[in-house]
Amino acid sequence: MIKSLRFFSLKLPYLFRIFIFLPVLYFINFPFEYNADYGNYFPDYSYGYFAYEPLYEWYSYFCREVLDFDFFLFWFSISILELILFALIYKTIMQVFLAIPSIVGMSQFFYGTQVRYALVSLVIVYSAISISRPVFKFLTTIVASSFHYGGVLIGFISLISGKISDSFFVINRVKPFLILVFLLGFSYVAFQQFDYLVSLTRFNYYVDSGEYVEPISLVSLLYVLFSLILLILIFTCAKENRTRLIKIGMVTLLVSLFTSPIAALSGRVSLFYFVFEPVLLGSLMVTAGGRYLKIMLLVLYFVRVIFYIYVNKYYFY
């Protein structure tokens, strides 16, 4: 650990973290008329359509029938769950400092709108950093995926990342590098056939939706690519950096890169990385090795955060 940064690695008390994150609820809870998903969630909750994953619907049923919550209270309760998870995940001074602007930047298009996937992402990140036994991580992934099926992929990433050999990510070895290049090329070709493969399944309605089958934007692609390159270089240059957390980050970015021809899929994986990012950066900044690379990664992170804060429109009660 870098002595000069030891202070930033101090863990804050849980209730104090709750207090620190409390103001973000002001951003996450915004008027429903500006919420893109309100038209889907409100009738499902009000009339009990059970159109979504079972755990989400059971929670909705409990709030509606047992607690007698109206839709506003139900929606607010999800925000409270997110708040609890924020405080459970981002523990140190450094992680909290990094997480708050990212949460604000993603508050209304992610945490306040895509609530099912946001909760699942937070649960998987918590599982990755706090649960050590693989069987419990697996069970957590199963439970989380019943709230949003997107948890299957990101849970799988969390489970397998630690099992991958360090040598795969060390770029001074030729064989792993060639395998990586091959996988990137193969995935790109494979996902070009996405339209045909999906047309054979019950999700064929996605084929006619251009927003789902188009590739991710150039800006997103460059962010994923540069972040991945910097993480690989940081991982390579010092053994102190070769942790399970950085492996999760690299594998997540690789999957996002593999699936880049499909914006909907790659975007969800990237969102999971954004949730995980403050934890990863917080751990890297207090360890020795690759100082300038880490500064570059930190600058890149704040460029993304500032970009989101700047381009997003915010609405408040």
Q: Where are the domains of the chain?
A: 3-311
pLDDT for the residue 260 = 82
Residues 33-81: pLDDT tens digits?
Answer: 899 888 899 999 999 888 999 999 999 999 999 999 999 999 999 999 9
Q: Does the pLDDT of residue 194 top 80, yes or no?
A: no
CA distance 181 to 286: 31
Structure-token pair, residue 68 = 């007698």
Find the helix packing angle between 244-258 and 115-130, rounded to 10°. Answer: 140
The pLDDT of residue 182 is above 80: no
pLDDT digits (tens, 9 = 90+) for 265-301: 889 999 999 999 999 999 998 887 888 999 999 999 9
> Coil, strand, or helix at residue 239?
helix
Top mean pLDDT of 188-192, 248-252, 255-259 is at 248-252
pLDDT recorded at residue 195: 56
Number of Cβ atoms within 10 Å of the Cβ of 260: 24
Q: What pLDDT does residue 39 have?
A: 87
* pLDDT of 301: 97
Q: Which of 227, 225, 241, 222 is nearest to 170 (CA)?
A: 241
DSSP 244-290: HHHHHHHHHHHHHHHTTTSHHHHHHHHHHHHHHHHHHHHHHTTSSS-
C-alpha to C-alpha distance for 199 and 61, rounded to whole angstroms: 34
Tell whether the model's pLDDT for residue 193 goes beyond 70: no
Q: 3-class DSSP state for residue 92?
A: strand
How sure is the predictor about 201, in pLDDT bands with cuts at 50, 70 and 90?
Answer: very low
pLDDT at residue 203 is higher than 70: no
Residue 15 is encoded by which pair of tokens?
A: 């209730």
Name residues whose C-beta falls within 8 Å of residue 191's C-beta, 6 or more positions apart in sequence: 258, 259, 260, 261, 262
User: What is the model's pTM?
Assistant: 0.90
What would the two tokens of residue 127 be?
């599982």
> How many C-beta neighbours within 10 Å does residue 315 have?
13
Token readout for 30 is: 């915004």
Give the bridge partners for 11, in sequence order.
92
Helix (H, G, I), strand (E, B) or coil at 252: helix
What percentage of the chain has pLDDT greater than the value 70?
85
260 touches 158 (CB < 8 A): no
Q: Which two tokens stand for residue 100?
A: 């708050």
| CA-to-CA dists, residue 169 to 121, 228, 272, 277, angstroms | 24, 10, 21, 19
Structure tokens at 181: 């290049």
Separation CA 294–CA 91 (nearest Å) = 20
> What angle separates helix 115-130 from helix 134-145, to the nearest 10 degrees?
180
Ramachandran sector of residue 289 (left: φ over 0; alpha: ψ -120 to 50; beta: rest)? left
Lowest-pLDDT choice from 200-204, 247-251, 284-288: 200-204
Q: For the segment 106-137, what is each residue's pLDDT rounded down to a tens digit? A: 999 999 999 999 999 999 999 999 998 889 99
Which of 121, 99, 229, 116 shows the shortest CA–CA distance to 177?
229
Lowest-pLDDT choice from 16-20, 136-140, 260-264, 267-271: 260-264
pLDDT score at 291: 87
